[in-house]
Every structure is written in C-alpha cells, then in structure tokens.
A and B are shown apart, each in its own frame.
Chain A
Amino acid sequence: TLRLICTTTAVQKRNAGASGPEKYTEAFIKKQIEEFNLGKRHLANMMGEDPETFTQEDIDRAIAYLFPSGLFDKQARPLMKHPNEVFPEQRKIQWGEDGRPFHFLFYTGKQSYYSLMHETYEKFLHVQKHQDQLTAEDLPLQKEKRNLAGSRWLTKIELEEMLLEKVSDDDYSRFIQLLQKLVALPCADIEEKFIQKFSKEVPVQLQKVVIEPLQHDERGVAFSTGEGKRKTARATAVVYDNGTGKITVNGIDILHYFPVLQDREQLLFPFQFLGRIGKHDMVCTVSGGGRSAQAGAIRLASAKALRSFVTEKEVEFMRQAGLLTVDPRVKERKKPGQEGPRRKFTWKKR
C-alpha cells in the first residue's frame, strides 16, 4: 500500500459513512445487557424502591426525575432502555467455523428473500397437488370466500423488517404477485396459516354513522338534536315533530335574526329538499362566525337532526345532495412576503 506523504490528514481519514451502519458483535451486546441490568438495580436503590420489581415505566420516571431536561425532541432526552431496543437487530455471521454458510441460498446474496419465495412456491405446488387429488376423486373444491376487503398485504418496509435485509421494489411486487396467485387458487384454505403471516387486518375505516332514534319530550312530541359547524360558527338545532314551520334562533325569530333572504333560504333548504316545510318546528342556538357562516352551521345541524325522522334512502339522497357534509373551507392564513393568502405585493419593474 502507498504511504501518502505530502497530504493532509483529512485525505487519509476514510469516509466514516461509507462502511454502512455499525456492526455490533454479540459479545458487545451481552456486555451492554449486563451493564443495563446492573444499572437498573443501582437506580432502584437510589430511588429507594425494590430492585426485583423495577419495571421499565419506573426506570423512565426515575430518569425523568434525576435528569430533568427541557429539550423539545423527546428522543433527545436522556434514555435508559434495554439494549435490544436501543441497538437495531443485526445479521450475525452467516457461516460456521469450517467456512460453510448455514443457509443453502447464502450465495445468492438475498438469502431470506429468495428462501421466502422458494417456500411460497412450495406451498403453491402443494395446493395444486391437493387440488389435483380432489379433482381425481371428483370431490367439490372448497370455495369459502376469503374476506378480501378487511385485509391488506405487508408493506415493503414491514417486509424488510421481517427479513432483516433490503428488498427492492421489483422483488416486493413479485412477492405480492406470487401471494395473490396463491390466494386465487380454490384450495388455498389449506395454507391459511402461512398466508396470514403476510396479511394484516385493515381497521374498518368508514365508521357506520349511527342515526339516533327519536326522543320524546313531556308533551309526547317527537324531537331530535343535531350539531353543525361552518367556518368558526357552531350551532345546535332541536327539530320538533307536529309543528307549523316556526324557526327560532337564540330566542329570536328568524325574520329578525336573519334579515337577508339568502340566509333564510339556507335554513329552509333541508326541509324543502325532504318536502317537510310546514311539518317541523325548530329551536336553534348558534355562536361564532358571521351571518352566512351561522346560517350554514344551522343548515347542517338541522339536516343532521332530520336524519332521525326520515328513511335510509332519503338519508342517502341528503348525503348525495351535500346536506350532511361539513364544509371544510376556512380562512387561509396570510403568508410573509405576500400581501394576503394568495395576493403578492405589487411588482414594480424599477
């Protein structure tokens, strides 16, 4: 090797990041675990607690008490956790004393990924053989529909974590295609356990909106409540049955509260849509926002209250008409260097 004479030390120092993440030896991690356990007992003694029953939460509380830190980032504060959580999981040496690697696909480079593909293909062949046996005996093939909507396949990152090695996009898509082919076979129920390792339950996203039943007040009149909002206005509406079409806002009649025709039209729109103009009474409370925002808030609140009086089909019609959706538009903030949210300062050529 050449000895660099007339150069700076910066050239001689190797690029620190090029060697990849630090490789921790097993002996090092063992020592860290011993030190951690010893430190845990010392900490328990210091806090005056029993060293045997000192849990991780107690450790966190003790550290937060002994080393108070005002740092914003929680991960920058003093930390005392078990070394297995601190040091990432790593691949140990892949070959034995005589030099022979342990895994039979070691020389491919991506041993865990290819062994997974090999296993999946084996399951595929097994299912096909089973299918052939059933068709030979003229037995019907099982056809229980798997719940496809509630499950998703593992993401690429999750697969990388599982295999402890990098997986490229192509490899990942190939693996998913193979899994889909396996699942598509009629007798795939045999390998259900294997498939479940790679599928995850998707939590039901659409919460079924529960339409509350009608309540009855002292006189026996059915009523229901609804809440709505628009911009900064918040409104609650109580819609009574067997009414004459009277609407009261904050104790004031709508003709006096909303002098503008447009606002009153907004209030009446849900009733007009369902054809129940003269049949319901309404009492609302509203605060915040401006004239138009309050009208929109009450409209949403009354539409939500009316769901209890009406069939499911009409609720679907209301939803498609946009009566039940919260209007997401709010005032956009002003940005620095501009006059308003979008308007820039006047540009002068000179």
Chain B
Amino acid sequence: DDKLLTEPLSHPDFFSVKELFTLKDLFDARVHLGHKKGCRHRFMEPYIFGCRLDQDIIDLDQTMQHLQLALNFTAHVAYRGGIILFVSRRRQFCHLVESTARACGEYAHTRYWQGGLLTNAHIQFGPGVRLPDLLIFLSTLNNVFEPHVAIRDAAKMNIPTVGVVDTNCNPCLITYPIPGNDDSPAAVELYCKLFRMTIIRAKDKRRQSEAIQELQ
C-alpha cells in the first residue's frame, strides 16, 4: 500500500501528461487570446507574450509548462483518491462543467457560492464532512468580474487550487495557475477534455496498480 503511493512520486511525469496536448492544439482552441490592454491585471504581465492591436496575447510556452504541472498534480490527486471540485461561475459553461465532473466521477459547483461552504462546512453539511482535496477553476472570476470567493477560502483551508487565469484575473492565491483564455467555448471545451482525460487516466492507473498488487 505504501509502495502504491510512493511509486508515482519518483517519476517526473508518471501519467505521461505531456502527450495529451500540443502547442498547436492550444493555438487552435484560441487559448492564447486575452482581453484588451485596459483590462490587464498587473500580476499577469509576466505571462503575457505581447499586445497586438490593443489585445493581449498570452505566452503559450509558459502556458504549456503551467498546464503540464497542473495536469500532473491533478493526476496525482486523483490517483490518491482525492475529492476534486470543479468551480466555474460562467453561465455559458455551467452545463459543460457539470457534465465533465459527472463523467469523471468527481464533483462540481457552478452555482451561487454560499459564504460558509468551505470555512463553515461542519455546520452547513453536518459533522464528519470531507472537504475537497483540490479545487479546479475553469474561470477565476465570478459574475461581477471579481475574484471568486472560493480562491480565498481554499487558501484559508489549505486546499491546493488549479485555475485558468485570464489577463484580467489575479493569479496570486492559486497554487497552479494556467494562464490562458477562459472566455471562448473552444478553449473551455479543450480544458474540460484535458482534465477529464487526466482524471480518468489516473483512476484507471490506480485500479490497475491495485489489481497487480492483489495478484502478488
């Protein structure tokens, strides 16, 4: 059992996450497109490649690295049987995110975030609740273009976060930010597909390893 958990940690890319996407895929899904120069957040400047006709272009090389780190981390969390919560407050993609979560066997929250969900969980849900072990943000802003409350709450409760940060978002409190577009349907579908594939792959690997160990 101990060997099951420590073995993946020795490899840099145990789940071969790099094969899931290429730079061309990201470009075709319009991940590099950001908002206008006026909407730019100060802390996103390191991730921006340049500005064309007032529109910010995100550096896809950096996105590749961040995306690989984030997917690797989610795969490890899913391998160890952690609870993953998909969060997005975009009304367009609410249904897509919920269906992705259902397909993975994980959880989603694309509705109005009640204040004490993470911080006051034992009173809201009942004693003995297990909080999520990873939060994945498909969009870090809420409907009023402010940072989502869940980022701050997860930081308070020591829950790691993975989030797609656009040029108008604040990447500070997110553990594994992924600079990229969060507005185009194509980009969001690509992210959903990638997360779904990593989680399913990780869970399958876990089941295989357990089966192999039982045979021994």
Contact = CB atoms under 8 A, between A and B. Distances in A.
A343 interface: no
B37 to A, nearest CB: 36
| Residue with the greatest number of chain A CB neighbours at <10 A, chosen from B81, B98, B124, B125 | B98
Given A94-B125, A95-B130, A100-B83, A105 B107 contact: yes
Contacts of B125: 94, 106, 109
B107 A106 contact: yes
A107 B132 contact: yes
A95 B129 contact: yes
A345 interface: no
Most chain A CB inside 10 Å of its own CB: which residue of B81, B117, B128, B129: B129
B124 A109 contact: yes
A104 B81 CA distance: 15
Interface in A102-135: 104-110, 114, 118, 121-122, 125
Contacts of B105: 104
Contacts of B130: 95, 99-101
A104 B85 CA distance: 9
A125 B125 CA distance: 32
Specify which of B105, B107, B124, B126 lies most central, judged by the most chain A CB atoms within 10 Å of its CB.
B107
Contact of B95 (A93, A99, A101, A122): A122
Interface residues of B, number: 22
Nearest to A98: B81
Contact of A107 (B81, B95, B102, B107): B107
A108 B129 contact: no
B40 to A, nearest CB: 32
Interface in B98-143: 98, 101-102, 105-109, 111, 114, 117, 124-126, 128-130, 132
B117 A125 contact: no
Interface residues of A, number: 19
B124 A101 contact: no
A114 B114 CA distance: 14
Contacts of A95: 129-130
Contact of A104 (B98, B126, B132): B98
A118 B109 CA distance: 12
Nearest to A124: B95
A109 B130 CA distance: 14
A107 B101 CA distance: 12
A98 B95 CA distance: 28
Contact of A109 (B83, B95, B98, B114): B114
Nearest to B135: A107
Interface string A188-214: 000000000000000000000000000
**Most B-side CB within 10 Å, residue of A95, A106, A107, A114:** A107
B27 to A, nearest CB: 29
Contacts of A108: 109, 111
B98 A107 contact: no
B111 A107 contact: no
Interface string A232-252: 000000000000000000000
Interface string B85-100: 1000000000100100
Interface of B: 81, 83, 85, 95, 98, 101-102, 105-109, 111, 114, 117, 124-126, 128-130, 132
